[in-house]
Amino acid sequence: MAHKNIFERQAMVKLLLEEGELTESEIKKQLSEEFNCSKSAIHADIIYFRTRGLTETIFQNKSMRKFICERDCYTCQYCGITTNINGIVEHIIPAYERGVAKPYNLVYACQKCNTLKRRQVWIPINFEIITKDNPEWKEKVLLRAVKDFRK
């Protein structure tokens, strides 16, 4: 049987995902305590919102990848190496952390930097250029980068 406050809980999960300030682990911990439910229930809510209407902003398509590769001239935006063989288009704020697949959150990176970066937030070389029309996103990235640096 579902909890009485399931709709309130789901609304809170959706809000926290959209804000993007907390990790999934932090959301699970906070809301499982607040709503007196299991972390698995919160996880199910997260999966629901990630797969319902939010996926088009999390996953990149082929034309988006081509655009980013060409915009960044096949140059890793973290170390500056140019390669069109082992490069990858990756999220500045990872998709796992609700990073969107928009040009202001995607950069071309070499495989080495992408592997080292993992789920951290690194500031790319072209950061000022790609975020100039998105000051809110720029601020979010900077705050996350500082948070990751302090870990």
- What pLDDT does 55 receive? 40
83-118 residues labelled b (16+ CB within 10 A) or e (exposed): eeeebbbbbbbbbebbbbbebbbbbbbbeebbeebe
CB 122 within 8 A of CB 89: no
Instruction: Tell me the pLDDT band of 56, cut-offs 50, 70 and 90.
Output: very low
* Residue 91: φ, ψ to 5°: -80, 135
Q: Does the pLDDT value for residue 53 go beyond 60?
A: no
DSSP alpha helices (H): ranges in 1-151? 6-19, 24-34, 39-51, 55-58, 62-71, 111-117, 127-130, 135-150
What is the pLDDT at residue 103?
Answer: 93
- Confidence at 91, pLDDT banded by 50, 70, 90: very high
Mean pLDDT of the chain: 85
Mean pLDDT of 40-56: 72
pLDDT higher than 70, residue 2: no
Query: Does the domain formed by 59-150 have CATH 1.10.30?
Result: yes
Backbone angles phi, psi at 149, to 5 degrees: -65, -35
Give pTM, 2 decimals: 0.62
